[in-house]
Chain A
Amino acid sequence: MKALVWHGKKDIRCESVPDPRIEDGRDVIIKVSSCAICGSDLHLYDGFVPGMKSGDIMGHEFMGEVMEVGRDNKKLKVGDRIVVPFTIICGECDQCKRGNFSVCERTNRNKDLAEKAFGRTTAGLFGYTHLTGGYPGGQAEYVRVPFADAGPVKVPSSLSDEQVLFLTDIFPTGWQAAVQCDIEPTDTVAIWGAGPVGQMAIRSAILLGAKQVIAIDNVPERLSMARAGGAITINFDEESVVERIDELTDRKGPEKCIDAVGMEAHASRSIDSMVDRAKQAVMLESDRPHVLREMMYLCRPAGVLSVPGVYGGLVDKLPFGAAMNKGLTIRMGQTHVNRYIHDLLRMIEEGKIDPSFVITHTVPLDKGPDMYKAFRDKEDGCIKVVLKT
């Protein structure tokens, strides 16, 4: 089969690899109909997350048709059309029982690596380093889905791939980011990053009743899409984020702040961001936390910082004194997709939201390597890429 394979920094190729096969009774094999490139895939593309090996298959946003079912899997049958959450869950461990699916205790088959990196293990993830299990990803023609009687969700034929594909990651990720904010009707929610997760967070904050949503980015197309979703936009290349947010919040700051950027913050005019880039370039720092610093500084006292953006290692010079003294609550983590996916599917079925709005490019799988570069460099108005097998 064909798959997008990681070979090193900025080196992803479409290659022929062996077809997957059933390895456990709970597995299924699916034929991928649609998959997507996620912003967090770019962290792997840029070489900022450790634990990748040459030959790893990329991708954690995918869906398709069940082709083969393991003998113990009583939930799915051949022909079912399913979306596959990027977090692999067992559905049985203590964390799954609490709904903390992204920290499932059983699905990471490289627990020892995860414990070295994070202290404790987290869930297995598709196509996202050997720290999270080294599972082959979904940017491929076929995928083995482990624990497939727990995570995947059947989707109705009345909805297109484009409408439901993002239930696998970015929609629940943006939704969780907003839910973690405990939004009140009087709240201003400021969202750093208007990429795909930021766009979903904007709409989630609106749907959850935020009075005012502010989106911060410097890409004109993203800002245009953010305004379409109801956000007031700030282009950080053209105006001061601090001054503009002060204007919009009577100098009190937003009650809720969302970091939809993560470890590769670009803030070309800020000194701290330039220092971060230099330190990252010479491997003195793994992540660039400009957004975290700005959120801690700007957030209203007793506010909430919600962090769906991916961080991989160590960050420097965080104003933790500001966060502590202002009594900020910080909530973060990979997404507990299965906690939200049924609610969100129902919202899509009811027509309250159509997540396909975010798709700007649809190409065949073999064009994927080119699209990684286009997505990373925001070329050609690229915000979200869907790959068709």
Chain B
Amino acid sequence: MSHHLTGSHHGNHMDPQSLATGLGWFSIALGVAELVSPGSVTRTLGLRGTEPVVRAFGMREIVTGVGLLSARNPAPWLWARVAGDMLDIASAATAMNRHNPHRNAAGVAIASLIGVTLVDVMAARAAQAANHERSSHVYDYSDRSGMPRSPSMMRGAALDDDLTDVDHPFRDDRRGQSTERPGTAGWGAEVTAGA
């Protein structure tokens, strides 16, 4: 039987699952803030009147966050975050017009969004790479039956034995019970530990 070893690469790279979990919680926190207090976002950016849009973005963040926390494969949800980031940047860019007294704040927001987008892209690519690595090599265990003959020939082989005859330290044969299935009955009232 050939045994193969895992290399030392584990733990040396960014763990996509941990990163996805962190981004999931970040999404939920941001989403709740946008849903509960959209006015603070619109006031900061000088975009009053767009509160319903901010609430919708908040809902999107929460859905993405739950998806990231619940999915075995986080890659699609991370790319969804990247798409959402683009939408956020485009929305914030509308606040950059020269008549908006809050355009500096909008600039800071856009710079922050670009930073978050870069993290999301890195995380999504790392998750995709991990998926690819997993699926790129499938080991063949088709010779590992563990039985001396084919499964069809081994069917019922355990029933050939009267396993109740085994000299067993805990089994009290004085009860005289026969087992319908191996190892299911015959446990007596008097057990001698370590007999």
Contact = CB atoms under 8 A, between A and B. Distances in A.
A208 B3 contact: no
A373 interface: yes
A356 B1 contact: yes
A116 interface: no
Interface centre among A73, A90, A268, A343 (most CB of B within 10 A): A343
A277 B70 contact: yes
A96 B144 contact: no
Contact of B187 (A90, A98, A230): A98
Interface stretch (B35-43, B93-101, B111-119, B175-183): B175-183
Interface in A203-224: 203-204, 206-210, 220-221, 224
Interface in A155-172: none
A241 interface: no
Interface string A351-370: 11111111111110001001
Contact of A96 (B69, B184, B191): B191
Contacts of A206: 147, 151, 154-155
A90 B193 contact: yes
Interface in A345-389: 346-347, 351-363, 367, 370-371, 373-374, 377-383
A229 B191 contact: no
Nearest to A210: B155
A338 interface: yes
A274 interface: yes
A208 B159 contact: yes
B170 A361 contact: no
Contact of B158 (A182, A229, A347, A354): A347
Contact of A343 (B24, B183, B194): B183
B134 to A, nearest CB: 7
Nearest to A73: B194
A278 B143 CA distance: 39
Contacts of A74: 194
B5 A361 contact: yes
Nearest to B150: A230
B154 A230 contact: yes
A74 B4 CA distance: 41
Interface string A330-345: 0000000011101100
Nearest to A94: B189
A374 B157 CA distance: 35
Contact of A363 (B5, B73, B140, B155): B5
A339 B147 contact: no
A83 B72 CA distance: 36
Given A90-B193, A99-B187, A268-B73, A374 B10 contact: yes
Interface of A: 10, 73-75, 90-92, 96-99, 147, 149-150, 175, 179, 182-183, 185, 199, 203-204, 206-210, 220-221, 224-225, 227-230, 266, 268, 274-278, 281-282, 338-340, 342-343, 346-347, 351-363, 367, 370-371, 373-374, 377-383
24 contacts: A75-B194, A91-B193, A96-B191, A179-B181, A179-B183, A179-B184, A199-B146, A207-B147, A207-B154, A208-B158, A209-B158, A210-B155, A266-B72, A338-B170, A342-B168, A343-B183, A354-B147, A356-B146, A358-B144, A378-B134, A379-B10, A380-B6, A381-B138, A381-B139
Given A277-B70, A352-B147, 20 more contacts: A92-B193, A96-B191, A182-B180, A203-B147, A206-B151, A208-B181, A209-B158, A225-B141, A227-B142, A229-B146, A229-B151, A230-B145, A266-B72, A277-B69, A278-B70, A339-B170, A340-B183, A360-B4, A370-B6, A373-B10
Top-7 shortest CB links A-B:
A230-B151, A381-B139, A99-B187, A91-B193, A357-B146, A277-B70, A149-B194
